Amino acid sequence: MDGFPDSFSAAQNSILEQVATGAPLASTLEQIVRLIELQAAGMRCSIVLVDVRQALVTQVVAPTLPREYAQALVGLRIGPNAGSCGAAASLGRRIVVADIASHPNWAAYRHLALPHGLCACWSTPIFAADREVVGTFAMYYAEVREPLPHELRWVDAATHLASIAILRERAERALRRSEARARQLARLFSVSSAVNEAIVRMREPQSIYDFACRIAVEQGLAELAWIGLCPSRQGCIEPVARHGSDADYVDSIALDVSDAGMHLGPAARALHSRQPTVCQDLAADPNFDSQARARRSELRSCAVFPLAIGGEGFGVFALYAQVSNYFQAEEMQVLTSIAADISFAVDLANTQLERQRLAVQLERSQRLQSLGTLAGGIAHDFNNILAAVAGNADLALLELGPSACARSHLAEIQKASRRGSELVRQILTFGRREPPRHAIIDPRAVVEEALQLLRPMLSHTVTLQTRFADTLPRLAADTTQLHQIVMNLGSNANHAIGDGGGIVEVTLDGCMVDPPTVARLPDLTVGHYVRLGVSDNGCGMDTATLKQAFDPFFTTKEPSKGTGLGLSVVHGIVMGHGGAIDVRSAPGEGTSFTLYFPAAPSEPAAASGNVRALPGEAAARALYVDDDEALVSLAQHALEAAGCRVTGYTDPLDALAHFSLHSAQFDVVVTDLSMPTLPGPEFAKQLRAIRPDIPIIMISGYLRPEDHEMAQRLRIDKLVYKPNTVAEFAALLCAEIHRLTPASAAAV
């Protein structure tokens, strides 16, 4: 450099080499200061680094100035009147103060300089390439004086060297930050990719939550991560997953988003706005409610991301860092994407779980349908067989004397036939193939009647207790199905108690179902119900058994003691009546079934009338048609014993031929529904084509809803389910024949 001795140039080159090799900035700046100080005796120099944006002195390099003075400069604000260095940095031009004691710029600072013998100070700004001031170079003298021209050239050389060193250090620092940022971004995108690939393969929402929190912490995205759920966006956010150095922090914070004092916090804001929320300085955010706890956990910033499905928020993904201003734009972008991936994966997992649930429900429905189809296939023929067996046993009993030995055997045949018929009815009810026959009934009378049948079935060590309300609402129900419920639940209770003895309690009362009960039992609606309870103090059920209690064919009984249909039948009956079942049980604590049936409107129960016997002088004339010869014979005996005159056929074509010739001889036609050569509906059509006014009664051991629709369409006068006994059969048919035929029917 012109005008400088060779030693100065050599020292300058040495400093530039140090800058090029990346020597520490403080060391390089100190060498610059000492180089200038070597040029004249009694001169002291300093390099002051500043932050012009914050208007502060950040660092002072002054190896020969008093330590106390140099330290006092750090943190001082710069300004147009702030001494020599502060004014030079603020104004961007050289400031020469020849007399510190009298210059106004030093009024607030001369007490720092004068005690150390500093009388004059000249300061020149150090510029970056964009003319931003990065610092100042100052010369101090112990006497009052102005700078000489060659001294100013020294200053210019010093500021040039200092600028090169400072800018090189800043460039290296920016490069390091950029490299660190690049590594951070690479880690962010790597984590985002890992989360995306992993969670879409997961099938359980809880696994997704746990994985997302764990990988966010392990990959350095956060010090602490947690996920909380609040599907209604009201009430509390419940943490369901957390990972990090201080996971207990999550348990210590209150997350009631409906609390007026908390709805401005980051979690509540993210949940309600469905937008990411960031808090870069927890200690300074007045809306952050857990500042003290966060400070103890050394957490300085946080970002919260909403979890949403279909635009509806259901939770939050929260991350915390131990430094302020951690969550920058790139982090927020990638973490927002991760939160969206979590939401998508949870939605997918829930969809798959729902599909699995629907698949199980479909399988169960198909089993029910298959069973219903099977039941429909066997019910007709099986009921005909049972009716023939039971009916002939009834007739045989009528012909035997009271002391005949065969009576006990025939009684067993009757019992077995009734059990078989009841089994068919249970299967039909279970498969929903037989519609219930609802009537307004007194539930107490029906339950008491069922209990009379139940008592003999209970073990002698079991006590049956009842507790009925004094007044009860009426009930629109199928009496037979209500019997089935009491019998099935009572039988199960008896089995649960076993041989050790215990109590079965049956309760009956009316109740008002309120909204909390509807929330617990969604099959109900608010209103009045009849409540039937059956409880025992037997062995009870564990959770796994309780979940399968109503599944078809599921049973804990030995193969010879249970079919697994009992509770399935009960469930089907209750659902068919528009009710619901509440079950409570625990191992060793017994089981309690509470059944809810909608109460009927207040009206008296239908009174049961006695069947009127047909007057002998006007006995009805019936054409009876059934493809089962045994049933035709049975019906002829039963109806003739009741006073009817019966012509029976097993082939509907033969019956039709006879009717076409003698239609006026019959008051009523009784026909089976299902016959191979000519089905009952077609037979009825052809009968009506011959004689439109002929009353027709159609009977079957298996009636479907579509059969009732057919009967209405063809104007069948009565569709009758075949009863279990001859007496019932005869009484039912006689009653219908009497109703349908004129009282003055002439005898043939």
The structure tokens 């800043």 sit at 170
**CA-wise closest residue to 52 among 85, 30, 98, 83:** 85
Do the Cβ atoms of 476 and 598 come closer than 8 Å?
Answer: yes
Would you list the domain boundaries of the chain? 6-173, 200-327, 443-598, 616-740
Give the pLDDT band (50/70/90) at residue 469.
very high
Query: Angle at CA 128, nearest 5°, toward 125 and 129?
Result: 130
Q: How confident is the model at residue 560 (pLDDT cuts 50, 70, 90)?
A: very low
- Residue 531 pLDDT: 95
Can you say whether the dihedral through the CA atoms of 705, 711, 712, 716 is positive or negative?
Answer: negative
Q: Which three-class secondary structure state does DSSP give residue 3?
A: coil
**Residues pairing with 313 in the sheet:** 308
Q: Tell me: the pLDDT tens digits for 16-71?
A: 888 888 889 899 999 999 999 988 888 999 999 999 889 999 999 999 999 999 99
Eight-class DSSP state of 117: T
CA dist 36 and 29 (Å) reads 11
Residues sharing a CB contact under 8 Å with residue 490, sequence separation 6 or more, in sequence order: 451, 454, 457, 458, 464, 504, 506, 534
Spatial contact of 542 and 554, defined as CB atoms under 8 Å apart: no
What's residue 258's pLDDT? 62
Cα Rg of the chain, angstroms = 49
Q: What is the pLDDT of residues 340-350, one digit of tens each?
A: 888 888 888 77
Identify the CA nearest to 371 among candidates 450, 411, 322, 429.
429
Question: Among the ranges 129-138, 189-198, 240-249, 398-407, which has the highest mean pLDDT value?
Answer: 129-138
The predicted-structure confidence for 365-374, as pLDDT tens digits, reads as follows: 676 667 666 6
| Rounded average pLDDT over 709-725 | 81
What is the reported pLDDT for 616?
43
Which residues, 6 or more positions from 231, have their beta carbon under 8 angstroms from its beta carbon?
314, 315
Count of CB atoms situated within 10 Å of the CB of 669: 24
Q: What pLDDT shows up at residue 336?
A: 85
CA-wise closest residue to 488 among 569, 598, 386: 569
Per-residue pLDDT band at 671 (split at 50, 70, 90): very high
Q: Would the pLDDT of 207 be above 70? A: yes
Q: Which pLDDT does position 30 carry in this prediction?
A: 92
Indicate if the pLDDT at residue 604 is higher than 50.
no
User: Mean of the pLDDT values across residues 245-271?
Assistant: 68
Q: How far is CA 426 from CA 21, 385, 573, in A?
A: 95, 17, 10
pLDDT tier for residue 144 given thresholds of 50, 70 and 90 = very high
Confidence of residue 609 (pLDDT cuts 50, 70, 90): very low
CATH topology match: 6-173 vs 200-327: yes
**Percent share of the chain, pLDDT over 70:** 81
Q: What are phi and psi of 46, to 5 degrees?
A: -150, 150
Nearest to 156 by CA among 122, 185, 179, 121: 122
* Beta pairing partners, 228: 239, 316
Residue 454 reports pLDDT greater than 60: yes
Q: Answer whether residue 279 shows pLDDT above 50.
A: yes
pLDDT at 687: 93
pLDDT band at 553 (very low <50, low <70, confident <90, very high): low
The rounded distance, in Å, linking the Cα atoms of 443 and 474 is 7
For range 210-214, the mean pLDDT: 87
For residue 649, pLDDT over 80 is answered with yes
The one-letter amino acid code at 124 reads T
CA torsion through residues 540, 545, 550, 556, sign: negative
Least confident of 244-248, 268-272, 322-326, 740-744: 740-744
The lowest-confidence range among 80-89, 408-417, 444-453 is 408-417
Whether the predicted pLDDT of 562 surpasses 60: no
Segment 682-694, tens digit of pLDDT: 999 999 999 999 9
In terms of pLDDT, which residue wins out, 425 or 288? Answer: 288
CB of 268 within 8 A of CB of 241?
A: no
State yes or no: pLDDT of 580 exceeds 70.
Answer: yes
Q: What is the pLDDT of residues 479-520, one digit of tens each?
A: 878 888 898 898 888 888 888 889 999 999 999 999 888 888
d(CA 426, CA 372): 11
> What number of residues does the chain have?
748
Predicted confidence (pLDDT) at residue 138 exceeds the cutoff of 90: yes
Task: Supply the CATH classification number for the domain 200-327.
Answer: 3.30.450.40
Q: For residue 422, which of 507, 491, 501 has the smallest C-alpha distance?
A: 491
CATH number for the domain running over 443-598: 3.30.565.10
Contact 45, 36 (CB under 8 A): yes
Q: What is the CA 34 to chain-centroid distance, rounded?
A: 74
Q: What is the per-residue pLDDT for 1?
A: 45
The pLDDT, as a whole number, for residue 233 is: 56
CA atoms within 13 A on the CB side of 549: 22
Query: Averaged over 215-237, what is the pLDDT?
Result: 79
Residue 612 DSSP one-character state: P
In this structure, are residues 424 and 382 in contact, taking their beta carbons and an 8 Å threshold? Answer: yes
**Considering only CA atoms, which of 99, 68, 724 is closest in space to residue 416?**
724
388 pLDDT band, cuts 50/70/90, is confident
Position 322: which residue type? Q
Q: What is the CATH number of domain 616-740?
A: 3.40.50.2300
Residue 71: per-residue pLDDT: 92
- Indicate the burial class of 563 (C-beta count within 10 angstroms; 0-12, 13-18, 19 or more): middle
Q: Which residue has the higher pLDDT, 387 or 553?
A: 387
Q: Which two tokens stand for residue 383?
A: 């009921």
Against a cut of 0.85, is the pTM above it? no
pLDDT over threshold 50, residue 610: no
Average pLDDT of the chain, as a whole number? 81
In this structure, the number of other CB atoms found within 10 A of the CB of residue 561 comes to 10
3-state secondary structure of 325: coil
* Mean pLDDT to the nearest integer, 134-140: 94
CATH number of the domain located at residue range(s) 6-173 in this protein: 3.30.450.40
Counting beta carbons within 10 angstroms of the beta carbon of residue 428, is it exposed (0 to 12), middle (13 to 18) or buried (19 or more)?
buried
Percent of the chain beyond pLDDT 90? 28
**What is the side-by-side order of every strand in the sheet holding 580-585?**
462-468, 502-513, 527-536, 591-598, 580-585
pLDDT of residue 259: 60
Top-confidence residue, 260 or 453? 453
Separation between Cα atoms, residue 563 and residue 481, nearest integer Å: 18
